[in-house]
Structure 1
Amino acid sequence: MYNSKPHQEHDLDRLHQQMLETRLAVLVTYGEQGLLASHIPVLVDTGEGEFGTVYGHLARANRQWQVLEQGTEALLVFAGADAYVSPSYYPSKLDNHKVVPTWNYLAVHAYGAAEVIQDGPGLLDIVSRLTDRHEQGRSAPWTVADAPSDYIDGMLRAIVGFRLPIARLQGARKLSQNRSAEDIEGVRQGLASSTDPLNLQLAAHMRAL
């Protein structure tokens, strides 16, 4: 992705945190069928491999898994909070009207070649871990074992899993770092005064600049 130097994020812990906080990733591949993209929940194992490893699954009817099976590079997009930045947030506008709107956002791109998983135990492990992650915190968490085993076996036959060791990571943390300290604070205050949850999230991130 295009990412100017002031907005590049290289801190691995921050990159991993953004990935873990993203509930739905976008898997992008390119093959004989052209560009394909699927919106899927994934597991990010930050301790496996140099940059981490991503696990997920696709419906068997989704032909994208066949592209993964070929071992070509795939892209996973982890989009974070985003917000419109009005020129009116900049105190410098009072002295110089040469300002325009922009957009602040957080994003991580993870690249790698995936291994397709089709065996029952491997698939069961992926869906069980995914379920446990998203059921965590509920007063009565549902588990895969709560469903009849023959039903689960049938459902597993309808999906294909994947394991994607991350070969490289790109992170964008666009929080007005190319502006003056006064303008950055103006943007932070402007976003913090909003009732929009995403604006408030970005304002919180800007406090750490």
Structure 2
Amino acid sequence: MYCPAAFRQDDLPTLHAQMRSSGLAIVTSSGAQGLQASHLPLLLAPEEGEFGTLYGHFARANPHWRDLASGAEALVVFSGADAYVHPGWYPVKAEHGKVVPTWNYIAVHARGQAEVFDEPERLLQLVSRLSDRHEQGRAQPWAVEDAPRDYIDAMLHAIVGFALPIRRLEGKWKLSQNRSEADQAGVCAGLATSASPRDHELAAQMNPTD
């Protein structure tokens, strides 16, 4: 990921928090079948390894897992808030007009080689943890145990799990840090007037104390 120094985010807890907040990650790799990309919910185990370990599963019918099983490196992309930046939000536009549109965004890239597994008990633990995470806070949270065990066993046979120790972790917080304080304030104010909740999310990232 191209990442000028002004936008680089190296704080591990901040990177992990963004990874957890991204509901769906994009797992990519290149192998015998060419480029592959799968959209998957993942679990992060921050205590495992230098940068943490990611856990997830593919449908067994998805050929992507075979590339990971053969040792292909995976790139996992976690996308955060993003927003178009209107040039008129920069105060300097009125001074000299030398401004252009851009896009602000937050992204985390994780790389590593995965261990693929299909042991039923290990898969059961994985899908239980995934379900518990996303059912938190619901009035009547669903649990794997709510479904008949023979049905769950059949579902487990239809998936393949993986554990991906992160070997390299990159974060990019492109939040107008390369602009003057006045321009940054103008962008933040412009985003705050938008009707898009995602624009408001990005504005909050630019002004975390507000």
User: Under TM normalisation by the shorter chain, which class is it?
Assistant: over 0.9
Q: Distance in 1 between matches of 2:139 and 2:2?
A: 43
Deviations 1:92-136 (A, max 9, x none): 111111100000000000000000011001100110000000000
Give the deviation of 1:188 after TM superposition: 0.3
- Hey, what's the Cα distance between the residues in 1 that align with 2:160 and 2:31? 18
- 1:71-86 equivalent positions in 2, closer than 5 A: 71-86=71-86
* 1:65 partnered with 2:65: yes
SS of the equivalent of 2:47 reads: coil
Q: Which amino acid aligns with 1:37?
A: A
Task: Please state whether the residue corresponding to 2:140 is helix, strand or coil.
Answer: coil
Secondary structure of 1:84's aligned partner: strand
2:11 counterpart letter in structure 1: D
Tell me the residue number matched to 1:197.
Answer: 197
Instruction: Tell me the equivalent position of 2:180.
Output: 180
Residue 35 of structure 1 is matched in structure 2 by 35
Amino acid aligned to 1:22? S
Instruction: Tell me the residue number matched to 2:92.
Output: 92
State the percentage of identical aligned residues: 58
Which whole-Å CA distance do the structure 1 matches of 2:40 and 2:193 have between them? 33
Say which SS state the counterpart of residue 131 (structure 1) adopts. Answer: helix
Tell me the secondary structure at the aligned position of residue 98 of structure 2: coil
Equivalent residue, structure 2, for 1:121: 121
Runs (5+) with no aligned partner, structure 1? none
Letter in 2 for 1:158: A
Measure, in 2, the Cα distance between the counterparts of 1:76 and 1:123: 20
- Structure 2 gap ranges (5+): none
| Aligned pairs (5 A) from 1:11-26 | 11-26=11-26
Aligned length: 209
- RMSD over aligned Cα atoms: 0.9
CA distance in 2, matches of 1:30, 1:203: 36
Distance in 1, Cα, partners of 2:197 & 2:112:
32
TM-score, normalised to structure 1, is 0.98
Shift of 1:208: 3.4
Segments of 4+ in structure 1 off by > 2 A?
A: none
